[in-house]
A = this chain, B = another copy of it.
């Protein structure tokens, strides 16, 4: 991994490069120029070169980028060569939707356990994974080398549950609860605040209306 800190803006764009390169690869395309990539991704070629230069370039003057190589390298930068063990806390509609979404597993994010406070659904299964009571969470996290917790619980309980999970050894949170978690700096948090996203859409609709 690079020593210098890469900006979160660049990192936010990496999955998009990865996605487009994956599509080119699937189409059997072997190489692509930054100009061609620029046309299909609708960002400037200079932005692409600049972003990729953060990681050492990968391109060759007059040749462009080798699609499969670049795809592999970006995948490695994104840490996708390593498997992650996930638990999901909150087996409501959204939790179920995430567990049922197979693409995450293809990328190495494996749902190992599901936890919920609702006794009525404890013991039931979602895609073969048993819903367990919260009391079993600590032991499960420690015994199954869980590094990521997905929080699909109400905001009223999310902060406290996150604190518990940090003490059990969780390294990262994928947080869908509509609240900011307060966890130590070394713990990584990626928020998906759906309401915020919808409000942003609302703003853009309002400000572009005549």
Contacts and interface: CB of A to CB of B under 8 A. Distances in A.
Interface residues of A, number: 60
A123 interface: no
Interface stretch (A26-34, A61-69, A135-143, A188-196): A188-196
A202 B93 contact: no
Interface in A1-33: 1-2, 6, 11-12, 14-16, 18-19
B174 A197 contact: yes
Given A93-B101, A100-B93, A208 B194 contact: no
A190 B180 contact: no
A200 B12 contact: yes
Contact of A203 (B11, B96, B200, B207): B11
A190 B101 CA distance: 21
B11 A148 contact: no
Given A101-B94, A147-B205, A194-B192, A200 B79 contact: no
Interface stretch (A103-111, A112-120, A161-169): A103-111
B107 A19 contact: no
User: 5 shortest A-B CB distances, which residue pairs?
Assistant: A79-B206, A93-B97, A15-B196, A190-B201, A15-B199
